[in-house]
Chain A
Amino acid sequence: DVKVTQSSRYLVKRTGEKVFLECVQDMDHENMFWYRQDPGLGLRLIYFSYDVKMKEKGDIPEGYSVSREKKERFSLILESASTNQTSMYLCASSLVSGGPQETQYFGPGTRLLVL
């Protein structure tokens, strides 16, 4: 069974803090993704990775960075948290690119509040 886990379900941080969101998948998937979900805006891609140590910017990378040192783990980093980064953060993974194998499987999400 597909399993994507995220380190925290809820997180409260202060403006200016460095924030780490961790995601782990146990399906040996090549691709991993970070999205944020905001009301009325749907899911927006922040960063993705198609291999260890590889990363690509998504649609809204500003204010974020990522790290993928191991295949199963993909971290999202907020270098200096700001209130406009209050959101629901979703991690996903997929086996390969193209066709049915591209189906992405999501973690439960981390709801981040920046005060």
Chain B
Amino acid sequence: DQQVKQNSPSLSVQEGRISILNCDYTNSMFDYFLWYKKYPAEGPTFLISISSIKDKNEDGRFTVFLNKSAKHLSLHIVPSQPGDSAVYFCAASSGGGADGLTFGKGTHLIIQP
């Protein structure tokens, strides 16, 4: 039973355009969401997070939107740059316990020149 779903295994976007990565979740107890970026042969790097009390969080070129009623979040990257090519993982937590994060399977973002 996959509680965090990233339905697009890969996404190709032209440099300078907007990249939109999507994530859906099923567990209504999740109250904290994170995005990680991972290059090959490296550990994931924390990118941006959002608490369930917010619907938007912005950090430079990265914005995360949360729609609680739809149990959906998205990561927007504007403008997309070649260095953004990586695998992006969505993760969620129900807090209140050190039981780790639940990760999606990842979306491979490819930025084309």
A interface list, Cβ under 8 A from B: 4, 9, 30-31, 33, 35, 40-45, 48, 50, 56, 58, 90-92, 94, 96-100, 102-109, 111
Return the contact of B42 from the options A103, A105, A108 (Cβ within 8 A): A108
B interface list, Cβ under 8 A from A: 9, 32, 34, 36, 41-46, 49, 51, 89, 91, 93, 95-101, 103-106
- By the criterion CB–CB under 8 Å, are B95 and A106 in contact? no
Assembled-state Cα–Cα distance A106/B43 (Å) = 6
- By the criterion CB–CB under 8 Å, are A90 and B44 in contact? yes
Given known pairs A42-B89, A42-B104, A102-B93, the reply for A4 and B99 (CB within 8 Å) is no
Name the CB-closest residue of B to A46.
B100
Task: Tally A-B pairs: CB < 8 A.
Answer: 72
Given known pairs A33-B100, A42-B106, A50-B98, the reply for A100 and B51 (CB within 8 Å) is yes
Name the CB-closest residue of B to A4.
B43
Assembled-state Cα–Cα distance A35/B106 (Å) = 14
Return the contact of B96 from the options A33, A98, A104, A108 (Cβ within 8 A): A98
- By the criterion CB–CB under 8 Å, are B105 and A103 in contact? no
Given known pairs A48-B98, A97-B97, the reply for A103 and B44 (CB within 8 Å) is no
Assembled-state Cα–Cα distance A27/B51 (Å) = 23
- By the criterion CB–CB under 8 Å, are A109 and B41 in contact? yes
Name the CB-closest residue of B to A103.
B46
Assembled-state Cα–Cα distance A97/B99 (Å) = 8
Assembled-state Cα–Cα distance A2/B112 (Å) = 32
- By the criterion CB–CB under 8 Å, are A99 and B34 in contact? no
